């Protein structure tokens, strides 16, 4: 264990083996830090925080702060952090507002500079929040989701697993699993195909997800018809996650962006050629 002489560590904090704590870092009472964690200079690990092994807490990060709420709870909940997370400079992570509950961060996440996770959020594994991404209270983020820089998520929204959110997006509704959301329009622009391949989805599973996508956004079914159709057609595999996700949402879900009328896109006359771009009208779905 290496604790810099200029660090302030409570004798009532529980530290694992091979923990490193840098200068001017603060570790308060009622903190548990797992083996081989690194707490960099000026970072604060506040009361009510439990973290697993091999986490990196960057310079100036504040881990376990009280909820940002007009009415502070008398007995706030905890912050629970898993293993092997990289929490970079000036990240802020807050404890749960509700007593006996916890803000939860899974394993192998990357939280980049200045990102914020508010009280009572639940974050899965392998999640990436890029610089200055902001999550309001009670947000749920599924495994392998990716949020671009400056994206902001409203309270109580759910982001499905393997979803990809563009930079500066403003989300006030749920994002279904595997979707890709454009940061300018705040609309779904297709499937996160690269993320699906990296997550190990088979070609058959990706085909089913594409079929379900068309069913959700282009069938014209009303909500109950849509859920019944999804449950009937997909009882296993990744596509089977859509129906329960839709049933548990409370804020509606992000709609698909469609090309506006009379718009055009550039296409290649010969896909193998390096030139000869032509313009063709976009065909509108009927």
Whole-Å CA distances, 278 to 9, 26, 119, 263, 267: 66, 61, 51, 14, 6
Q: Is 154 helix (H, G, I), strand (E, B) or coil?
A: coil
Q: Residue holding tokens 């009937």?
A: 232
| Cα dihedral value 208, 124, 16, 79, nearest 10 | -170
Q: Which has the closest alpha carbon to 163: 111, 126, 202, 218? A: 126
Half-sphere exposure of 276 (CA within 13 A, CB side): 7
The residues that are catalytic are 119-120, 137
Give residues with Cβ within 8 angstroms of 229, minimum separation 6: 215, 219, 221
CB atoms within 10 A of CB 178: 31
Could you give the CA distance from residue 76 to residue 233 in angstroms, rounded to a whole number? Answer: 44
Q: Are 157 and 173 in contact (CB under 8 A)?
A: yes
DSSP designation for 141: E
């Amino acid at each position: 264990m290496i604790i810099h002489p200029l660090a302030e560590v409570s004798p009532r904090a529980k530290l694992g083996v091979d923990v490193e704590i840098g200068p001017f870092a603060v570790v308060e009472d009622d903190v548990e830090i797992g083996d081989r964690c690194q707490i960099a200079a000026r970072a604060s690990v506040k009361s009510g925080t439990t973290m697993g092994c091999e986490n990196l807490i960057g310079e100036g990060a504040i881990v376990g702060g009280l909820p940002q709420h007009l009415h502070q709870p008398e007995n706030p909940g905890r912050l629970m952090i898993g293993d092997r997370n990289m929490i970079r400079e000036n990240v802020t992570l807050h404890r749960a507002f509700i007593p006996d509950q916890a803000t939860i961060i899974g394993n192998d996440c990357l939280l980049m500079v200045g990102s914020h996770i508010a009280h009572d959020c639940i974050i899965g594994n392998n999640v990436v929040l890029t610089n200055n991404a902001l999550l309001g209270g009670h947000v749920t983020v599924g495994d392998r989701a990716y949020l671009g820089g400056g994206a902001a998520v409203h309270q109580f929204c759910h982001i499905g697993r393997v979803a990809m959110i563009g930079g500066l997006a403003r989300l006030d509704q749920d994002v279904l699993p595997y979707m890709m959301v454009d940061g300018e329009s705040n609309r779904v622009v297709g499937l996160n195909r690269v993320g699906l391949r990296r997550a190990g989805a088979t070609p058959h599973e990706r085909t089913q997800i594409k079929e379900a996508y068309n069913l959700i956004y282009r069938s014209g079914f009303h909500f109950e018809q849509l859920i019944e159709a999804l449950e009937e057609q997909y009882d296993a595999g990744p596509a089977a996650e859509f129906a329960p996700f839709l049933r548990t949402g409370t804020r509606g879900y992000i709609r698909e962006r469609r090309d506006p009328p009379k718009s055009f896109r550039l296409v290649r006359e010969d896909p193998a050629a390096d030139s000869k771009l032509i313009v063709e009208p976009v065909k509108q779905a009927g």
